[in-house]
Structure 1
Amino acid sequence: MIHILVVEDEPSLCQLLVNNLGFEGYSVEAVGDGVPALSAHTARRADLIVLDLMLPQLDGFEVLRTLRERKDEVPVLLLTARGEETDRVKGLSLGADDYLVKPFSVLELMARVKAILRRTRPVDRPARLRSGPFQFDLPRLEARRDGKTLELTPREFRLLEILISHAGRTHSRKELLQLAWEPDARPSARTVDVHIANLRRKLGEELGSPWITTVGGEGYRWITPVEPDPGAGPGGAAERG
């Protein structure tokens, strides 16, 4: 299992990262400063480090510098509120693989994490899935019905990805809010309902059987079995339930 180390001292953002990465099936460990980050990585080597720059004691630049001085090429995604060009250049020059400025979209964060892991790790699950008449290309954020591309927004696709990744499981509105929205977005449960309604319309539920069912008082569930697309190529694992 891919192991990701999150180094972030802001509790709500740290929890957001842990929730989203854990939902994707990664093993996640979180620490709040640079020294315990280096210790944690030594104790259990990470496949990716998501690293905040502004930390209480040992900052992200020094953590990254220490790793590279040790000839450790672990992939590093920097997160920071410091978006100046000099900071970006410094981080990349020290050997960071990518750089994301706060506040950021959780959708973009997950896309960047997956892009780094595609470059550095073999695929742990298929990039393409199918369910009933639908085909899903996860890296491309594309969904098709009977070969016809569906015009989904990134947020709608994220909700769809959450549902199909655990087909048959009920996802509460609160869980969907935590996994598909940023912590400072402050959406309501009604926001989830509106997006699900739009998603259902675009999936074409009016044409036949429902794909997303509402579980009274709880949330939503994708009810059609999901399996790897035969065209996904080698290296894909079976769908996680």
Structure 2
Amino acid sequence: MKDAVMPAVNAEAERVSLWSRWRDDIACVKARDPAARNAVEILLTYPGVHAIIWHRFSHRLWTSGAKFPARFFAWVARLLTNVDIHPGATIGREFFIDHGAGVVIGETAEIGDGVTLYHGVTLGGVSWTPGKRHPTLEDGVLVGAGAKILGPIRIGTGARIGANSVVVEEVPPGVTAVGIPARIVRAMDRRALGNGRVNLDHHLIPDPVGEVLSMLLDRVEFLEARLNHMQGRVQRHEEERFDDERAG
């Protein structure tokens, strides 16, 4: 079943021209970064865009068997952009790394279409064993700054990973996961805005601990009010009994 929803680039997608891929990568930036003004500015000044341009070229070399040239161009890309993407990583259409600095993507990582990563994100492995070692991100996933997603786990379509979270277990589609280790805190009701723009309010991360404390404070306030009411009744009862005793 998982293979049926696999978002990674397939053999047919691999045949799409590099120009087409690069054009999609540049065009998607304006939908996800309000600071982006035009394609020329994006092409010349966005290190995340430079990183994916270099990666798509080195990945073609990697899949054609030219391993050393692929690794060399990946090294050049890391030197120029501070983004380390292994040429073996498989990345879909309209991929965007915002700010770019410190992103690491491992060899067996698989990324679907429309994925957004912020700076400091790591898609890493947790094993020396050959084979699948890195995460799979399905379509539309958004990963906040500094988050670490580790191991051959799957992040479901449209999921969001909060900043500085550490994810070591699979995340279902359409939810938000935060924390160390990451835990699901909320299902997302709305994934996109009008005109194809992606909803970037990933900073509005719920605080489950704060919500629990708020509920406890409400409960304490209710119990205090009830206790005061009961104390008032007892006091009135004692006053009435005292008055009866005096009258008797």
- Relative to the length of structure 1, the TM-score reads 0.30
Greater RCO, 1 or 2 (C-alpha within 8 Å, sep 6+): 1
Greater Rg by CA: 2
The structure carrying a bigger strand percent of its residues is 1
